[in-house]
Amino acid sequence: MTPIDISGVGASGQKQGEMTHDDTPVRWPDAACNGKPTDWFYPLGYGHDDEHITEMNRLALECCDQCPRRTECRERALAMVDCYGTWGGHTEPELHQMRVARYGGGQ
Ligand code: SF4
């Protein structure tokens, strides 16, 4: 899948409170994760042990802390039906909890 470059707010255009099946990666030009290792943000899919996952999550969250796109990124992640990895300064389990709180357990 080729990342799309969007410089505006709103990622794929969905409004808060709507969910989407569009899981196309979004690449903001000023995102702090541009050029950083993918493994930092998607450690669970690589079959790593807990220690490695914790370290990758730490690196990803430090990166997100410096990112001007945290809010848009988190909203993009919460709107996706299937969302994996660290987005918007939140790990995958945190995003799952936030999604359940927002949309209910049926999502
Ligand atoms: S908030 Fe984190 S994952 Fe999202 S664009 Fe910024 S650095 Fe990347």
pLDDT tens sequence across 18-27: 565 555 556 7
The SS3 of residue 90 is: strand
Q: State in Å: Cα 73 to ligand 1 middle.
A: 6
Contact between 11 and 26 under an 8 Å Cβ cutoff? The reply is yes
Measured between alpha carbons, how far is 61 from 59 in angstroms, rounded to an integer? 6
Distance CA 81, CA 48 (A): 25
Q: What does the pLDDT average to over 3-32?
A: 55
Residue 99 has φ and ψ, to the nearest 5°, of -65, -40
User: What is the H or E stretch that residue 4 is in?
Assistant: strand 4-5
| End-to-end C-alpha distance for the chain, whole angstroms | 24
Q: How confident is the model at residue 68 (pLDDT cuts 50, 70, 90)?
A: very high
The mean pLDDT of 4-21, rounded to a whole number, is: 43
Tell me, what's the pLDDT at 42? Answer: 87
Nearest atom in ligand 1 to the alpha carbon of residue 64 is 2
pTM over 0.85: no
CA 6 to centroid of ligand 1, rounded, Å: 14
59 vs 46: which has the higher pLDDT: 59
Which of 40, 70, 74, 76 should be mutated for ligand 1, with most atoms under 8 A from CB? 70
Residues with CB under 6 A from ligand 1: 28, 31-33, 41, 63-64, 67, 69-70, 73, 87-89
Asked whether residue 99 carries a pLDDT value surpassing 80, the answer given is yes
> Is residue 4 very low, low, confident or very high in pLDDT (cuts 50, 70, 90)?
very low
> 12 C-alpha vs ligand 1 centroid, how far in Å?
15
